[in-house]
Structure 1
Amino acid sequence: MDRFEFFRCALRVRRIGVSPLGSILCISFALIFSSLVFAGDTSPKSSEHPLGSAPPTRFDFDGDRKADLAVFRPLEGTWYISNSSSQNMSAYRFGASGDLPVAADYDGDGKADVAVFRNGVWYRLFSQTFTVDAISFGVAMDKPAPADYDGDGKADVAVFRPSDGTWYRLASSNSAFSAIRFGTDGDIPVPGDYDGDQKADVNLFRPNAGTWYRLNSSAGSYSAMQFGAFGDRPILGDFDGDGKSDLAVWRPSTGVWYIQKSSDWTYFIAAFGLPTDIPVAADYDGDGKTDIAVYRPADGVWHRINSSNGSYQASVWGTGSDMPIAGDTVPVQGPSSFTCNFYASPNGTAAGNGTTANPWDLQTALGKTSVVTNGKTLCLKGGTYTGKFRSPLINAVVRSAPGESAKLDGYRTTTLTAAITATQTNFTVADGSNYLNGGPDNLVIEGEVIKVFSRSGNTITDCLRGASNSMNGAEPHAAGSTAITGGDVLYIEGSGSTYRDLEIMNSRPSRDGNIANQGIGRGSGVVVVGDGNKLVNLVVHDNLNGIFTSSVSSSTEIYGCLVYNNGVHSRDGGTVENGHGHGLYLENRAGYSRVYEDIVLNSFKLGAQGYGVTGPYVGGDFAGSAFANSGAPLGKFGDVNIRNYNLLVGPDSQRSATAIVRNSYFYHPASSMGYMLGFGYGAGVVTGTITDNYFIGGGTLLATGNTTNATITGNHFYSSRVGAQYTLVAPGQNYNWNQNTYYGAASRNVFGVAGSSLYQFPNWRAVTNFDALSSETSAAMPDTVIVRPNSYQPGRANVIIYSFSGAPTVAIDLSSTGLVNGQSYTIRNAQNFNGPAVVTGIFNSASPTVSVSLTGVAATVATPLGYSFTPATTCPQFCPMIVVPN
């Protein structure tokens, strides 16, 4: 029989500056932990192991130099701690739902103190005196980063503010305040003693680059080191026991730990954990070395490897809704934190001052390069910004204002006030304000492009008639003719800036390139010519190209973007309607092109291409992205099964040094002959990597061309189409092609070598010497659900569903999305993102799986704007969805 002991502890509120927590209840009882007897122990004891010169052990609540198992239950606001010294349990009702646990030794007694961070206020229960402290330090969206920065043996209150990349610290030794600019939005603070001087160093991990940046407290020196990869989680710990924090990451996708020991700079790599686990590394066995450990929310089990003897240990402590206190370096904090420094509005003016009460218009705001810089954030108030815009901003952030949605619509028109001849270069329009204001300098009338050189008010005073890309040169136009603002919706010529959480589109009511200029007239959604820019969580649709990075750009990151229905059609002087415009058109001159966690659907031509006719594409990395149904809108003209490449890599101009396609998802209907991935096109690729992808449906799944060296491993292939070709490769290649899975391939001629007939799997292996450790099946690919969390917005995730079983529903596990218990969310259909929600709900971490229908709303498709044809849904065989936190 379990024994329950309840007791109330009298506490003193030592500092009154905010409302106290109310009653703080200390309880000790078994609760969910069966077959155990717990005895409460509330008397504060002195540590049995004096601190001396050694820092306290993290998460050691009883002072025995061993980290304790501890969880915070948000629904109750209760801490449950398993004391390693006595095996007793302590429970403290201290906090509330939404609080962030920030346990650390704030009073220097060698024991971790129970503490929470709530909307910029720190509440701490000191273990030495059992008193409560409440201190306002920070704002709601700061990331708490407590550590001993001044070396007095006490953790200091500190926060990292992502909006301006600043660390704010309050020294416990003398209450001195300090602020240091180090980092940017998206960075994760990982303060630790990396130089061994017993003071925590300002240190952060940049997840999109896998790079650690540090300011050493001992010498004030700066260091940067790439250790890790996109999606890794940084881990704080001294794994070799030399008194210095080591560089360490845990890779959720594989459960692998990567550790670089500071003592000898050797590497330690170990697979331990599942993708849904939470890393909880700490010194649980008291040997002075951090132990590898994970907490499994599904069953509340802590799994660890003791560094002292290498033994494995599993302990039940917690439930699915609990937060492990040792979990991660920074707890999941809900919506991304940021502060608006300046504002633009659809109703803003050039005479505004950029405040929320007196905002700028968008083009004026984008031109404020002297003030919107150095990490400052320009927030766009909700509504539609009509026109074409140029951004020369450097080191800035442009995003929708909190809780609002900003849309850039490139379709802006005016009219001619009088007829003009084909040679006239001076004429008046009804509204000329959108020209030569720092933004566009082209206008389009029917098929003619007119380049504007000067204007006065609404009068164009000088221009070039019949400019480049005009359909028929210069032409006369009648009074009242519609003049469309030409160019690209958002043209980025600055550098080092982030554009995020915006909708970028063109509502022009025609896609027909046979009767009107659709190139300059419609324009691409986003064009990047600057260096080091980021496009994050954009929704880009119904433009010419969705996103174009030019041949003079470098190091662009495209992350979490939904790109669909981009392109136009024309006969190009012939009789067949051709598609023009891609989802992503990528060139670059240097650095990299990072395409991470994007969904690209229903492009009129290609889904994406790393390609240039004369411009270079030096290489890039495609990871975690989905490409599907490219070419489908051309079904309007008779062949509903027409499809094009979902992804093409390789320029005509010059060879790409390297290109990577990994952990990505491809789909064409089995009724189509479309290509999934063409790799090594044109001049080709020197070194290629194609790993852990899904190539599903269509006619040709993977075609490798002009590629010198290639690693092609861990991929999944399946198409039920008669005559499908799973692979196409040039003869005589010496590639690392292995450990792939070919569903539905048994006894089928689906493996191709150029110049030969298709092979069955055994002959394919014999001819190519590939796939020695790969497998084939006769069965269809099993139903598969992949959840891809978004690194820039906790709670957001892409969901990729493949289903060939005919099941009407699938189960989606939301536990890895970053949603917090009690947070509302919406699951949207990526094929009809602005349509009705597929599911809305409240996240329950104890029951994180939701059932989602693959029919009804999930099977709807957005009709391209200005078009009279809607591509058929790919659901249920392929259902891309997006989880969005509310």
Structure 2
Amino acid sequence: MAALGCQSGGPAGPPPGTRVGYYAAPGGTDAGDGSTSRPWDLATALAGGNGGVQVQPGDTIWVRGGAYPGTFRSTLTGTSAAPIVVRRYPGERPILAGDGSSNTLKIDGAWTYFWGLEVQVSTSDRTTPRMDAVYVRYTANVKLINLVVHDGGTGIYTEPGAPGVEIYGCIVYNNGWQAGAGDRGHGHAIYVKNDAGTKLVRENVLFNQYGFGVHEYSDLGSGGLNNIRVEGNVSFDNGSLALPGTSGAGNMQIGGEEPVNNSTVRSNMTYYAPTMSELNVRLGYDTVRSGSLAASGNYIVGGNPALTVKDWTSAVVSGDTLVGVDEVVLLTDSILAGKAWSGNYYYRDPLAAAWRYLTTAYTLSGWQGATGFSGTDGAAAGMPLVARVAVQPNVYEVGRGTVIVYNWTVQPSVPVDLSGVLRAGDHYEVRSVQALFGAPVASGTYGGGSIGIPMTPITPPTPVGLASSPAPVTGPAFDVFIVTQV
């Protein structure tokens, strides 16, 4: 990753831009014209330029590298045919460094895509409530693409009345706070609600919060949980910043005091280090009976229990893989009509009492007998015998991808086929999401096929305000990497 675009002694002017569009820069002003030589400050750019009328649907605002202290509000409004794009200038690192007086980036307007920016809260106090890093407020049809969001109260919060929002490819970590030993961890990576229309939370990487990774939740009367799709996300070691035994959080919570309707939870991947015993994925909340759920193709590792399914009118749980040494399933719904449970696989001794229905723990066959659910589920004692590697080519950015590695045999390096991300001859770099701004763990010229990605243990990023991270080191057993063409 390139330098910030600033040096000690004050900001240095970035070299002239070569991209078509308007420009914002740390040294920009409200008297600029948005050109590469006379850029705007970020507040002016997000207001639409001089007089709020220069930026039109279809325009792009390039955000140059450097620190942008303060808080910001976007009122940019594009159209469905011509959205406005606010994007990191290639090779640079713009940082919206919130001062904690308000949420760092408030998004109003509509049909605007925010792409590649880094957004944080810079205040050091982690014992009192913090402002959110990204607040999706009075808006519709906004996309958050490949953002890096950290050290907020919540990383990304979406109001229920903001439909059509997509959160894609974002890396979200170190969010939240805790008052002390008598308190729980607060603050999540993504806090999502939705009244009408849809919301999509897809292929994000969420780790090391005080609270949950995905928090699809609403207090009674504070907004709906309708038509939310949670797909392909990686959520690991969330709750790990809270004091041991106090987080009350997990990697994924789907459900709250308002019922969930038309929920999709598909192809997500979660991980808890063996030292952590938090619940991992919970579908449903308390005794609230929600509407319909489709949970399929998820890969859930660790936690106690690994998967909790509560009260649903209709639920399909199929094709999921669960790996654990404690309780792998907790089902609390006393009404089994309307449920379909099939084709799931458990890496857990089928003779262990690791499947719970209501208040009773059963072996797998005993649980199937008590519930009447699937003889098509399977189980094996012990951990998987080969590495599981998933590669997600970025749908918005050619030459970028996410690699997720469960290194079950604890090899020092794991082969990864990047042919879906890179072309032969591309120069590339690979970084752990836990060291995004450090040296790459691998780099070179892609020759096709597989490359070796080292699984060297990496110290988790230090939360703002703490001397070090209390989160566990995941390597060499597990890590997530970002591949970029350079």
What is the TM-score normalised by the length of structure 2?
0.90
Is 1:349–2:32 an aligned residue pair? no
**Secondary structure, counterpart of 2:133 in structure 1:** coil
Q: Distance in 2 between matches of 1:708 and 1:835?
A: 48
Match of 2:455 in 1: 854
Q: Distance in 1 between matches of 2:324 and 2:35?
A: 55
Match of 1:866 in 2: 465
Match of 2:272 in 1: 668
Q: Where do 4+ consecutive residues of structure 1 move more than 6 Å?
A: none
Matches within 5 A, 1:190-339: 339=19
Q: Distance in 2 between matches of 1:805 and 1:731?
A: 39
The residue type equivalent to 2:105 in the other structure is L
Residues 184, 248 of structure 2: 8 Å contact kept:
no
Aligned-pair distance for 1:643?
Answer: 6.3
Is 1:616–2:224 an aligned residue pair? yes
Q: Distance in 2 between matches of 1:832 and 1:525?
A: 21
Is 1:405–2:93 an aligned residue pair? yes
Match of 1:48 in 2: none
**Secondary structure, counterpart of 1:821 in structure 2:** coil
**Secondary structure, counterpart of 2:368 in structure 1:** helix
Match of residue 447, structure 2, among 844, 848, 872: 844
Q: Distance in 2 between matches of 1:768 and 1:531?
A: 42
Match of 1:750 in 2: 354
Q: Distance in 2 between matches of 1:667 and 1:494?
A: 36
**Secondary structure, counterpart of 1:349 in structure 2:** coil
Is 1:784–2:388 an aligned residue pair? yes
Aligned-pair distance for 1:669?
Answer: 2.0
Q: Distance in 1 between matches of 2:19 and 2:312?
A: 46
Q: Distance in 2 between matches of 1:772 and 1:641?
A: 37
**Secondary structure, counterpart of 1:792 in structure 2:** coil
Residues 784, 802 of structure 1: 8 Å contact kept:
yes
Higher relative contact order (Cα pairs below 8 Å, separated by 6+ residues): 2
> Which consecutive unaligned segments of at least 5 residues does structure 2 have?
1-17, 79-83
Match of residue 719, structure 1, among 300, 324, 329: 324
Structure 1 pair 570–676 and aligned structure 2 pair: CA distance change class (3 A)? same
Q: Distance in 1 between matches of 2:376 and 2:472?
A: 38
Match of 2:410 in 1: 806
Match of residue 709, structure 1, among 285, 293, 314: 314
Residues 119, 133 of structure 2: 8 Å contact kept:
no
Q: Distance in 2 between matches of 1:631 and 1:835?
A: 25
Match of 2:253 in 1: 648
Match of 1:145 in 2: none
**Secondary structure, counterpart of 2:280 in structure 1:** strand
Aligned-pair distance for 1:779?
Answer: 3.1
Q: Distance in 2 between matches of 1:340 and 1:398?
A: 13
Aligned-pair distance for 1:724?
Answer: 2.5
Match of residue 502, structure 1, among 117, 127, 134: 117
**Secondary structure, counterpart of 1:717 in structure 2:** strand
Match of 2:9 in 1: none
Residues 185, 248 of structure 2: 8 Å contact kept:
no
Is 1:536–2:145 an aligned residue pair? yes
Residues 239, 249 of structure 2: 8 Å contact kept:
yes
Q: Distance in 2 between matches of 1:725 and 1:390?
A: 44
Q: Distance in 2 between matches of 1:794 and 1:641?
A: 42
Match of residue 556, structure 1, among 147, 151, 165: 165
**Secondary structure, counterpart of 1:554 in structure 2:** coil
Tell me which structure has the larger Cα radius of gyration: 1
Structure 1 pair 729–670 and aligned structure 2 pair: CA distance change class (3 A)? farther
The size of the alignment, in residue pairs, is 455
> Which consecutive unaligned segments of at least 5 residues does structure 1 have?
1-337, 412-484
The residue type equivalent to 2:308 in the other structure is A
Match of 1:386 in 2: 69
What is the TM-score normalised by the length of structure 1?
0.50
Aligned-pair distance for 1:804?
Answer: 2.6
Q: Distance in 2 between matches of 1:784 and 1:741?
A: 14
Residues 528, 553 of structure 1: 8 Å contact kept:
yes
Is 1:815–2:419 an aligned residue pair? yes
**Secondary structure, counterpart of 1:358 in structure 2:** coil
Matches within 5 A, 1:453-464: none
Q: Distance in 1 between matches of 2:169 and 2:255?
A: 23
Q: Distance in 2 between matches of 1:833 and 1:382?
A: 16
**Secondary structure, counterpart of 1:568 in structure 2:** coil
Residues 339, 377 of structure 1: 8 Å contact kept:
no
Q: Distance in 2 between matches of 1:791 and 1:808?
A: 30
Aligned-pair distance for 1:642?
Answer: 5.7
The residue type equivalent to 1:503 in the other structure is E
Matches within 5 A, 1:367-386: 367-368=47-48, 369-386=52-69
Residues 211, 247 of structure 2: 8 Å contact kept:
no
Aligned-pair distance for 1:873?
Answer: 1.2
**Secondary structure, counterpart of 2:225 in structure 1:** coil
Residues 633, 869 of structure 1: 8 Å contact kept:
no
Match of residue 796, structure 1, among 400, 422, 446: 400
Aligned-pair distance for 1:641?
Answer: 9.2
**Secondary structure, counterpart of 1:785 in structure 2:** strand
Is 1:831–2:434 an aligned residue pair? yes
Q: Distance in 2 between matches of 1:561 and 1:771?
A: 36
Match of 2:15 in 1: none
Query: What's the CA shift string for 1:187-216, capped at 9, x where partnerless?
Result: xxxxxxxxxxxxxxxxxxxxxxxxxxxxxx
The residue type equivalent to 2:232 in the other structure is G
Q: Distance in 2 between matches of 1:586 and 1:494?
A: 18
Aligned-pair distance for 1:731?
Answer: 3.1
The residue type equivalent to 1:351 in the other structure is A
Indicate the RMSD between aligned Cα atoms, in angstroms: 1.8
**Secondary structure, counterpart of 1:736 in structure 2:** strand
Residues 670, 699 of structure 1: 8 Å contact kept:
no
**Secondary structure, counterpart of 2:242 in structure 1:** helix
Match of 1:594 in 2: 200
Match of 1:109 in 2: none
**Secondary structure, counterpart of 1:632 in structure 2:** coil
Q: Distance in 1 between matches of 2:20 and 2:313?
A: 48
**Secondary structure, counterpart of 1:365 in structure 2:** helix
Residues 486, 523 of structure 1: 8 Å contact kept:
no
Match of 1:565 in 2: 174
Match of residue 695, structure 1, among 300, 311, 322: 300
Residues 348, 381 of structure 2: 8 Å contact kept:
yes
Match of 2:369 in 1: 766
**Secondary structure, counterpart of 1:569 in structure 2:** coil
Aligned-pair distance for 1:770?
Answer: 1.5
Aligned-pair distance for 1:680?
Answer: 1.7
Aligned-pair distance for 1:741?
Answer: 0.8
Q: Distance in 2 between matches of 1:835 and 1:685?
A: 44
Matches within 5 A, 1:403-552: 403-411=91-99, 486-513=101-128, 518-519=129-130, 522-552=131-161
Match of 1:361 in 2: 41
The residue type equivalent to 1:344 in the other structure is A
**Secondary structure, counterpart of 2:263 in structure 1:** strand
Q: Distance in 2 between matches of 1:392 and 1:745?
A: 55
Q: Distance in 1 between matches of 2:468 and 2:247?
A: 14
Q: Distance in 2 between matches of 1:842 and 1:726?
A: 45
Query: What's the CA shift string for 1:675-720, capped at 9, x where partnerless?
Result: 1111122544311010001010111111111211111111001112
